[in-house]
């Protein structure tokens, strides 16, 4: 299989899809309003480019990005996609490899959607405040944005194989929790309903438990993704 | 290529036996027609032959080797058109065929010419750049046939390939399959007797998971002492009913 | 009949679908959750209204989704062609819409099974059926109905579920986002949750309900317009949008319905009866920030009158307030002196809802011409006066109160059967001319017999009855021209305090809370304390503490009245507060009383450089009183710790430490950012500085002695920061917290 070609088409299909473009536009619009609001003012009167403000910015974006990744996952398990798999399964391609390429395309689309608002924030910092020390902030952004997304991605991939309606239920749960700002306790807070922060002056010092939690999400999510890939296609 | 089916059986959950103890030998070059009423087990047999279904018992040998042992190699020379399939509606015809060519590991330098060939053969030239979602049902069927033909597979398994095509197109594809069968094995499942009448050199009639007849169309007609294949088929089925 | 049968079949089908039942269950669960976890300033808000508002969002979202699923169903399952050949396509869409609305009604009724007993139990004697029905039917159910109409309308119009879902998500989000925008936003646009809030527990919520009714009317008409437009656009026979539109409009009722809905929507918007077209208030000299805080930086000198050549010597009125029609009508008679004897233009001001019906000048009919609307719901009129040295002018007027459109669209004035609040120019037309020191001001007021009037200035004596109403006789003084009238079922406790005849006027329903709180004694103690510490209040022999409805949200001090909203009298812990630091209770009561000394009797004036204002010294005064009344521990926890915490935040704030970054921002952003510190500066840092002044001077008594001298020497005057420093003998550096 020419993996590059398959990846190219999968990525193209995702990046050109209406759902992706729409969600990206919404995320970007929201990120701009955040920049003009909480970032400019600074969270808890800290600097706009403080770790605390930046992490609040990333936390606010998390629900949108999680919705985006779930929508992309749901796409994989639509009836039309499953119909195409009837043909694809008859090629010599290993289904695990094929699924992996698809996951890769989803991950790529997600990363683009996550990086654009981060880049917008950095540009904002640079233009307005002449602030350019983005390294630690980027790490903060990754710590906040990636683990939960990986975790939900893994759950969605497993759910999708069994009952694709499960992804929509998960999606609805994320939307409802986000819109109505329902607080979820501690380590189960996969959608950053309670923004994680430990305020220590102007610095963002995530507690060890927070880092552990994020790491757990990441590892669990990766395991779930691998599990979904490794499962052989049921041939009753 | 030589395919042997030995005492193949497939039972679904719920107790329905779709394929009962089928033994067959198919060898290229040949155009094998598979006919039978609804629920006869044709599609199940097709899926067993493509490796998309596992048999309950029995085995399938491809050139003497079990199919599942050399699945990858087997699928690399397989072109398959299922009865129900989907396409990527957001790609154009050409893009979808390029995608399928990549999945079939067709080399890049030959992929373009191969795509051009199948587009020409399936009369999709004017729909090359059209998005698949804009195609009619028959045009989508042609795209399905086109992807099956990619890579000049040695084995073509086509399940109801002419569904949705107009009579002129059906004749055209019938001729295409007949031509293609000169140097490969084609197994063609259909409801339309005319599809198998003129071109098939082997006819298998399947009913309730069992083979009712194997042979040439002429042999069936002679057996039933009728002049048309359709009447011979009907007589065969009526005989089933009166048993 | 066949239609009714088909409709009932559709309703049954819809209500038996699992997805419908699932959505209804989720909404009901959400409603229960919101009810149990509600918070608010009043019991009605905490246990009923806010739950309904939050549930309205959830309901609108899920019913929009359900509507989309139902309308897209035929297309998704490819049953379009079958169904639309078996039944009339237009009727089919109408049936689906009606079935969804029925599902919404069933959902509301289901929720009421919990919400009604829960609300009754939690609010107890404060339960008002009108509040419950408003919350769960006018707010919640209406939001669901609008979601159904809008979603189905947009779907039929666009033909795409994706576009429709984006539009609906955007509209629901917009209704939510409007809350966080502090700019003046139209209450009519809040189609989901409305701007309802601060529902009173103790008096009628008629004013709030009026707003909601009009909001719902407008939203209904707009939703129906969009729905009908969608119905017109429903694609048929393979035709496109415009051809389908033409085809569908051949059924006369559809375009008629569409046209009337659109026209009525426009009319309902234009003829909105609660707010007027007041000019935005000129904030030069004040800071108004997008944070929602309005901070007065300069107290303007008494403005000049429009026509100083005319002088008012006597004013009398006869006012009839109809709580049934919710209007007033009256006659006012004025005696004027004209020093020059020349023809004059008499400037008259009324509330924007009042109309001058007739004018008689010295026995001859005159004419009043209405001019531009001014600020604060003021309508400006002109009456041309002939040459004369004296005038007797009789003005007949009538109308219905309107409210200031530019002030966060909050209803302040109005007439209802349980509560009345009229501004000065709503009681009688106000003449913008000089007023003689000997000017007499008196009148008669006819009011519903169960209501008791209260004027911010002056006296009222109850008379007999006339036309089934109680007559009240009012006498006031020249400076009573700028009065307001309140009327409700009041209970009054009178007592002497600080050498004044004080009274606490509260709503009858609040009797038990007021007694439990021992409010009268708290007020007496506070007045006595401040009188002892600072000096007596000088401008009146009376002082009234007046209870206001919750919707006023806060308090004010004016003339010889300190007014506080009803939440002040709520027992602590009874209502789950929106924030642990939300005000209420005796702190606010004492604070508003202290304002009589610092804000009314004297006017500490805020400037742009220091933290000085009437608030800081009032907070400090409140702290001093409560230290004696409730003890050191209380004030340490609720005042000093709070002030110090906010000081820490302030001094470590990024833009305070690095003001150079403000240069890179726009003026508006700078204003907003610095405005966000205003509350801290005025309410927290200044009192801390006064505590430091205490230390510098040798204790509380020493500072209070200085403040007393400052007060006594500045009665009726402005007090600047420099005045304060001079009085205390301290420098800015001495009391700075840096």
Contact C654 A176 (CB under 8 A): no
- What are the tens digits of pLDDT across the range C582-599? 445 788 888 888 988 998
d(CA C78, CA C315): 79
Contacts of C683 (CB under 8 A, 6+ apart): C615, C616, C619
B76 touches chain A (CB under 8 A): yes
- What are the tens digits of pLDDT across the range C17-30? 999 999 999 999 99
C394: phi then psi, degrees, rounded to nearest 5: -120, 120
Q: Look at A233 and C176; give whichever has higher pLDDT.
A: C176
From the CA atom positions of chain B, what is the Rg in Å? Answer: 18
A94 touches chain B (CB under 8 A): yes
Judging contacts by C-beta atoms under 8 Å, the chain A residues touching residue B88 are 13, 80-81, 84
Closest-CA residue of B relative to A4 is B102
Inter-CA distances, C561 with C511, C556, C592, C602, Å: 20, 8, 9, 15
Instruction: Give the mean model confidence (pLDDT) for residues C450-477.
Output: 90
CB C476 within 8 A of CB C455: yes
Contact C661 A41 (CB under 8 A): no
B102 touches chain A (CB under 8 A): yes
d(CA B18, CA C160): 41
Closest-CA residue of C relative to A175 is C61
Contact A86 B12 (CB under 8 A): no
- What are the tens digits of pLDDT across the range B151-173? 899 999 998 888 888 888 888 88
Sign of CA dihedral C123, C125, C129, C131: negative
Q: Look at C400 and B162; give whichever has higher pLDDT.
A: C400
pLDDT of residue C577: 53
User: How much of chain B exceeds pLDDT 90, in percent?
Assistant: 25
Judging contacts by C-beta atoms under 8 Å, the chain C residues touching residue A201 are 652
Instruction: Give the mean model confidence (pLDDT) for residues C192-199.
Output: 87
Instruction: Give the mean model confidence (pLDDT) for residues B54-75.
Output: 85
Q: What is the DSSP letter of C375?
A: B
- What are the tens digits of pLDDT across the range C379-397? 999 999 999 999 999 999 9
Q: Name the band, by pLDDT with cuts 50, 70 and 90, for residue B77.
A: confident
Closest-CA residue of A relative to C56 is A180
Closest-CA residue of B relative to A7 is B99
In the structure encoding, which two tokens stand for residue A197, read together?
């922060």
- Nearest CA to C433 among C347, C500, C338? C347
Instruction: Give the mean model confidence (pLDDT) for residues C182-205.
Output: 83
Q: Best mutation site among A23, A43, A45 for testing chain C: the one with the most C CBs within 10 Å?
A: A45
Q: Name the band, by pLDDT with cuts 50, 70 and 90, for residue C184.
A: very low
pLDDT of residue C277: 84
Contact C54 A180 (CB under 8 A): yes
- What are the tens digits of pLDDT across the range A89-135? 888 788 888 889 999 999 999 999 999 999 999 999 999 999 988 88
* Chain C nearest C-alpha distance from A41 (Å): 6
pLDDT of residue A101: 92
* Chain A nearest C-alpha distance from B14 (Å): 12
- Nearest CA to B160 among B184, B133, B138? B138
pLDDT of residue C287: 46
pLDDT of residue A189: 55
* Chain A nearest C-alpha distance from B198 (Å): 28
At B78, which helix (H) or strand (E)?
strand B78-81
Q: What is the DSSP letter of C663?
A: G
pLDDT of residue C283: 53
Answer yes or no: is pLDDT of C289 > 80.
Answer: no
d(CA A128, CA A39): 11
Instruction: Give the mean model confidence (pLDDT) for residues C235-243.
Output: 82
Judging contacts by C-beta atoms under 8 Å, the chain B residues touching residue A99 are none
Q: Best mutation site among A18, A85, A86, A97 for testing chain B: the one with the most B CBs within 10 Å?
A: A86
Answer yes or no: is pLDDT of C179 > 80.
Answer: no
Question: For tokens 């990754």, what's the residue?
Answer: A142
Smallest Cβ–Cβ distance between A179 and the set C26, C57, C649 belongs to C57
In the structure encoding, which two tokens stand for residue C462, read together?
């109850």
- What are the tens digits of pLDDT across the range B79-132? 999 888 888 988 999 999 999 998 888 888 899 999 999 999 999 999 999 999
Answer yes or no: is pLDDT of C301 > 70.
Answer: no
Q: Name the band, by pLDDT with cuts 50, 70 and 90, for residue C11.
A: very high
In the structure encoding, which two tokens stand for residue C716, read together?
């009726």
Smallest Cβ–Cβ distance between A86 and the set B82, B99, B103 belongs to B82
Contact C673 A41 (CB under 8 A): yes
Mean pLDDT, chain C, whole residue set = 88
CB C662 within 8 A of CB C670: yes
Q: How many CB atoms lie within 10 A of CB B175?
A: 12
Answer yes or no: is pLDDT of C454 > 90.
Answer: yes
Judging contacts by C-beta atoms under 8 Å, the chain A residues touching residue C54 are 180
Q: Angle at the Cα of C162 (from C156 to C167), degrees rounded to 5?
A: 75
CB C401 within 8 A of CB C422: yes
Q: Do chains B and A touch (3 or more CB pairs under 8 A)?
A: yes
Judging contacts by C-beta atoms under 8 Å, the chain C residues touching residue A47 are 654, 658
pLDDT of residue B241: 52
Smallest Cβ–Cβ distance between B90 and the set A2, A16, A93 belongs to A16
Q: Do chains A and C touch (3 or more CB pairs under 8 A)?
A: yes
Smallest Cβ–Cβ distance between B76 and the set A9, A79, A92 belongs to A92
**Region of poorest pLDDT, from A3-17, C246-260, C334-348, C551-565:** C551-565
User: For the packed helices C519-533 and C614-629, what is the interaxial angle rounded to 10 degrees?
Assistant: 110
Q: Look at C296 and C712; give whichever has higher pLDDT.
A: C712
Q: How many CB atoms lie within 10 A of CB B51?
A: 21
Smallest Cβ–Cβ distance between B86 and the set A83, A90, A93 belongs to A83
Chain A touching partners, 3 or more CB pairs below 8 A: B, C
pLDDT of residue C2: 74
d(CA C692, CA C700): 10
Q: How far apart are the first and last CA of chain A?
A: 26
In the structure encoding, which two tokens stand for residue C664, read together?
């890179």
Judging contacts by C-beta atoms under 8 Å, the chain B residues touching residue A236 are 12-13, 53-54
H, E, C per residue of C579-617: CCCCCCCHHHHHHHHHHHHECCCEEECCCCCCCCCHHHH
DSSP bridge partners of C462:
C472
Question: For tokens 């742009």, what's the residue?
Answer: C608
d(CA B112, CA C31): 60
Contact C162 A45 (CB under 8 A): no
CB C396 within 8 A of CB C350: no
d(CA C257, CA C241): 19
Highest average pLDDT, of B166-170, C474-478, C484-488, comes from C484-488
Q: What is the DSSP letter of A43?
A: G
Q: Name the band, by pLDDT with cuts 50, 70 and 90, for residue C318.
A: very high
Contact A86 B86 (CB under 8 A): yes
Judging contacts by C-beta atoms under 8 Å, the chain C residues touching residue A48 are 654
Contact A80 B89 (CB under 8 A): yes
pLDDT of residue B191: 79
Q: Look at A3 and C265; give whichever has higher pLDDT.
A: C265
Contact C654 A50 (CB under 8 A): yes
Judging contacts by C-beta atoms under 8 Å, the chain C residues touching residue A18 are 162
**Region of poorest pLDDT, from B38-42, B201-205, C319-323, C405-409:** C405-409
- Nearest CA to C279 among C422, C412, C377, C380? C377
Size of interface A-B (CB pairs under 8 A): 96
Cα C600 to chain centroid distance, Å, stands at 23
pLDDT of residue C86: 73
- The conformational region for residue C394 under phi > 0 = left, psi -120 to 50 = alpha, else beta, is beta
Answer yes or no: is pLDDT of C309 > 70.
Answer: yes
Q: What is the DSSP letter of C438?
A: E
At C114, which helix (H) or strand (E)?
helix C89-123
B81 touches chain A (CB under 8 A): yes
- Nearest CA to A217 among A54, A68, A97, A66? A66
Q: Name the band, by pLDDT with cuts 50, 70 and 90, for residue C85.
A: confident
Contact B86 A93 (CB under 8 A): no
Question: For tokens 């642990």, what's the residue?
Answer: C580
Cis peptide preceding B29, ω within 30 of 0? yes
A98 touches chain B (CB under 8 A): yes
Smallest Cβ–Cβ distance between A129 and the set C58, C661, C676 belongs to C661
* Chain A nearest C-alpha distance from B82 (Å): 7
Size of interface A-C (CB pairs under 8 A): 46
- What are the tens digits of pLDDT across the range C597-641? 998 889 999 887 888 999 999 999 999 999 999 899 999 998 999
Inter-CA distances, C126 with C129, C486, C519, Å: 10, 21, 19
d(CA C618, CA C596): 9
Judging contacts by C-beta atoms under 8 Å, the chain B residues touching residue A83 are 84-87
- The conformational region for residue A192 under phi > 0 = left, psi -120 to 50 = alpha, else beta, is left
- What are the tens digits of pLDDT across the range C331-349? 999 999 998 999 999 999 9
* Chain C nearest C-alpha distance from A230 (Å): 33
pLDDT of residue A85: 84
Mean pLDDT, chain B, whole residue set = 87
Q: Do chains C and B touch (3 or more CB pairs under 8 A)?
A: no
Contact B91 A92 (CB under 8 A): no
Contact B90 A17 (CB under 8 A): yes
Answer yes or no: is pLDDT of C543 > 70.
Answer: yes
pLDDT of residue B225: 87
d(CA C274, CA C326): 12
Answer yes or no: is pLDDT of C528 > 90.
Answer: yes
Answer yes or no: is pLDDT of C257 > 50.
Answer: yes
Q: Best mutation site among A42, A180, A183, A202 for testing chain C: the one with the most C CBs within 10 Å?
A: A180
Per DSSP (E only), the strands in chain A are 199-200, 203-204
Contact A45 C57 (CB under 8 A): no
- The conformational region for residue C592 under phi > 0 = left, psi -120 to 50 = alpha, else beta, is alpha
H, E, C per residue of C452-517: EEEECCCEEEEEEEECCEEEEEEEECHHHCCCCEEEECEEEEEEEECCEEEEEEEEHHHHHHHHHH
pLDDT tens, residue order, chain A (236 aa): 688 899 999 999 999 998 899 889 989 988 998 998 889 999 889 999 998 899 999 988 988 899 899 989 988 888 778 888 888 888 878 888 888 999 999 999 999 999 999 999 999 999 999 998 888 888 888 888 999 899 999 999 988 877 778 888 888 788 777 766 666 655 455 555 444 444 444 455 666 667 788 888 899 899 998 888 887 665 54
Closest-CA residue of C relative to A127 is C664
Contact A179 C61 (CB under 8 A): yes
CB B118 within 8 A of CB B194: no
DSSP bridge partners of B19:
B10
pLDDT of residue A210: 73
d(CA B76, CA B51): 12
| Residue C651, SS3 per DSSP | helix
d(CA C576, CA C547): 21
pLDDT of residue C291: 40
Instruction: Give the mean model confidence (pLDDT) for residues C3-18.
Output: 89
């Amino acid at each position: 299989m020419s993996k590059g070609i398959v990846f190219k088409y999968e990525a193209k299909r995702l990046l050109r899809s209406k759902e992706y473009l729409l969600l990206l536009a919404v995320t970007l619009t929201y990120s701009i309003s955040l920049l003009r609001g909480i970032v400019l003012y600074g969270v808890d009167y800290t600097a706009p480019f403080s770790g605390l403000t930046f992490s609040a910015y990333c936390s606010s974006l998390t629900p949108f990005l999680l919705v985006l990744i779930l929508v992309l996952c749901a796409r994989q398990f639509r009836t039309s996609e499953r119909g195409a798999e009837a043909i694809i399964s008859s090629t010599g391609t290993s289904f695990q490899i094929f699924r992996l390429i698809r996951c890769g395309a989803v991950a790529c689309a997600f990363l683009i959607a996550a990086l654009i608002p981060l880049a917008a924030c950095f540009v904002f910092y640079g233009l307005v405040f002449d602030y350019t020390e983005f390294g630690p902030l980027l790490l903060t952004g990754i710590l906040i944005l990636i683990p939960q997304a990986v975790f939900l991605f893994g759950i969605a991939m497993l759910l999708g194989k069994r009952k694709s309606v499960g992804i929509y239920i998960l999606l609805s749960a994320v939307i409802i929790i986000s819109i109505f700002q329902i607080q979820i306790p501690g380590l189960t807070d996969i959608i950053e309903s309670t923004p994680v922060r430990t305020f220590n002056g102007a610095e963002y010092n995530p507690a060890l438990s927070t880092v552990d939690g994020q790491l757990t999400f990441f590892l669990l999510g990766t395991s779930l993704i691998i599990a979904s890939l490794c499962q052989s296609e049921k041939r009753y | 290529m030589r395919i042997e089916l030995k005492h193949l059986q497939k039972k679904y959950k719920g107790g329905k036996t779709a394929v009962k103890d089928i033994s067959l030998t198919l060898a290229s070059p040949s155009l094998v027609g598979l006919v039978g009423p609804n629920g006869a087990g044709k599609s199940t047999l097709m899926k067993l032959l493509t490796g998309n279904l596992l048999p309950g018992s029995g085995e399938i040998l491809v050139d003497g080797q079990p199919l599942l042992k050399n699945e990858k190699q087997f699928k690399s020379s397989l072109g398959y058109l299922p009865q129900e399939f989907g396409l990527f509606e957001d790609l154009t015809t050409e893009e979808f065929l390029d995608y399928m060519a990549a999945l079939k590991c067709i080399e890049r330098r030959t992929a373009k010419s191969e795509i051009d060939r199948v587009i020409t053969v399936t009369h999709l030239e004017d729909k090359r750049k059209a998005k698949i979602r804009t195609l009619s049902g028959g045009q989508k069927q042609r795209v399905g046939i086109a992807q099956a033909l990619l890579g000049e597979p040695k084995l073509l398994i086509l399940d109801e390939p002419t569904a949705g095509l107009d009579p002129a197109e059906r004749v055209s594809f019938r001729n295409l399959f007949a031509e293609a069968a000169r140097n490969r094995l084609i197994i063609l499942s259909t409801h339309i007797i005319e599809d198998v009448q003129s071109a098939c050199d082997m006819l298998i009639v399947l009913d309730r998971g069992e083979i009712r007849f194997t042979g040439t169309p002429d042999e069936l007609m002679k057996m039933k002492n009728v002049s048309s294949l359709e009447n011979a088929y009907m007589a065969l089925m009526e005989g089933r009913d009166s048993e | 009949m066949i239609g009714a049968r088909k409709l009932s079949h559709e309703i049954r089908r819809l209500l038996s679908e699992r997805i419908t039942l699932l959505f209804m269950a989720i909404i009901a669960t959400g409603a229960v959750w919101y009810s149990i976890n509600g918070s608010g300033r009043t019991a009605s808000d905490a246990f009923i209204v806010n739950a309904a508002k939050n549930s309205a969002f959830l309901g609108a979202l899920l019913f929009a989704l359900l509507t989309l699923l139902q309308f897209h169903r035929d297309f998704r399952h490819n049953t379009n062609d079958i169904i639309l050949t078996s039944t009339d396509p237009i009727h089919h869409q109408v049936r689906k819409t009606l079935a969804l609305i029925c599902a919404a009604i069933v959902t509301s009724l289901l929720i009421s099974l919990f919400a009604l007993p829960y609300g009754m139990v939690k609010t107890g004697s404060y339960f008002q059926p009108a509040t419950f029905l408003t919350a769960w039917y006018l707010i919640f159910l209406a939001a669901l109905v609008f979601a159904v109409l809008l979603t189905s309308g947009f779907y039929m119009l666009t033909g795409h579920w994706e576009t429709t879902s984006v539009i609906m998500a955007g509209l629901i989000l917009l209704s939510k986002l409007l809350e966080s925008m502090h700019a003046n936003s139209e209450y009519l646009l809040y189609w989901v949750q409305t701007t309802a809030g601060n529902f009173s527990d103790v008096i009628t919520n008629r004013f709030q309900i009026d707003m909601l009714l009009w909001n719902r009317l407008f939203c209904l008409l707009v939703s129906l317009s969009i729905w009908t437009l969608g119905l017109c656009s429903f694609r048929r026979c393979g035709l496109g949008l415009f051809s389908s539109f033409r085809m569908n409009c051949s059924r006369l009722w559809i375009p008629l319905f569409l046209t009337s809905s659109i026209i009525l929507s426009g009319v309902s918007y234009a003829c909105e009866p609660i707010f007027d077209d007041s000019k935005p208030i000129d904030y030069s000299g004040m800071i108004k920030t997008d944070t929602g805080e309005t901070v007065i930086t300069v107290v303007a000198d008494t403005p000049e009158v429009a026509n100083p050549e005319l002088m008012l010597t006597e004013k009398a009125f006869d006012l009839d307030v109809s709580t049934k029609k919710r209007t007033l009508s009256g006659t006012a008679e004025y005696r004027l002196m004209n020093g020059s004897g020349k023809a004059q233009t008499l400037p008259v001001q009324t509330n924007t809802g009042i109309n001058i019906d007739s004018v008689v000048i010295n026995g001859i009919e005159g004419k009043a011409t209405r001019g531009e609307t001014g600020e604060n719901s003021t309508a400006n009129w002109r009456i041309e006066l002939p040459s004369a040295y004296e005038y007797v002018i009789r003005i007949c007027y009538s109308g219905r109160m309107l409210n200031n459109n530019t002030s966060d669209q909050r209803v302040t004035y109005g007439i209802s059967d349980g509560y009345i609040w009229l501004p000065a120019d709503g009681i009688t037309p106000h003449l913008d001319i000089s007023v003689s020191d000997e000017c007499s001001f008196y009148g008669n007021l006819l009011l519903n017999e169960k209501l008791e009037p209260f004027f911010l200035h002056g006296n009222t004596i109850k008379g007999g009855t006339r036309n089934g109403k109680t007559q009240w006789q009012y006498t006031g003084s020249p400076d009573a021209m700028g009065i307001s009238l309140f009327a409700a079922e009041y209970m009054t406790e009178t007592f002497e305090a600080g050498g004044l005849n004080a009274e606490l006027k509260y709503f009858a329903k609040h009797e038990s809370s007021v007694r439990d709180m021992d409010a009268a004694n708290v007020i007496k103690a506070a007045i006595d304390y401040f009188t002892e510490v600072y000096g007596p209040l000088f401008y009146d022999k009376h002082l009234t503490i007046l209870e206001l409805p919750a919707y006023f949200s806060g308090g004010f001090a004016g003339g010889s009245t300190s007014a506080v909203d009803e939440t002040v009298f709520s027992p602590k812990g009874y209502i789950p507060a929106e924030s642990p630091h939300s005000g209420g209770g005796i702190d606010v009561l004492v604070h508003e009383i202290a304002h009589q000394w610092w804000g009314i009797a004297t006017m500490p004036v805020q400037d742009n450089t220091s933290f000085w204002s009437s608030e800081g010294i009032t907070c400090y005064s409140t702290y001093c009183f409560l230290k004696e009344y409730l003890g050191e521990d209380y004030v340490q926890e609720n005042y000093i710790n709070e002030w110090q915490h906010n000081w820490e935040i302030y001094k470590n704030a990024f833009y305070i430490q690095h003001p150079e970054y403000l240069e890179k921002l726009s003026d508006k952003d700078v204003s907003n950012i610095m405005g966000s510190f205003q509350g801290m500066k005025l309410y927290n840092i200044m009192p801390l500085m006064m505590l430091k002044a205490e230390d510098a001077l040798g204790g509380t008594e020493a500072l209070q002695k200085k403040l007393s001298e400052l007060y006594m020497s500045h009665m009726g005057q402005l007090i600047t920061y420099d005045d304060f420093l001079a009085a205390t003998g301290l420098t800015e550096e001495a009391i700075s917290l840096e």
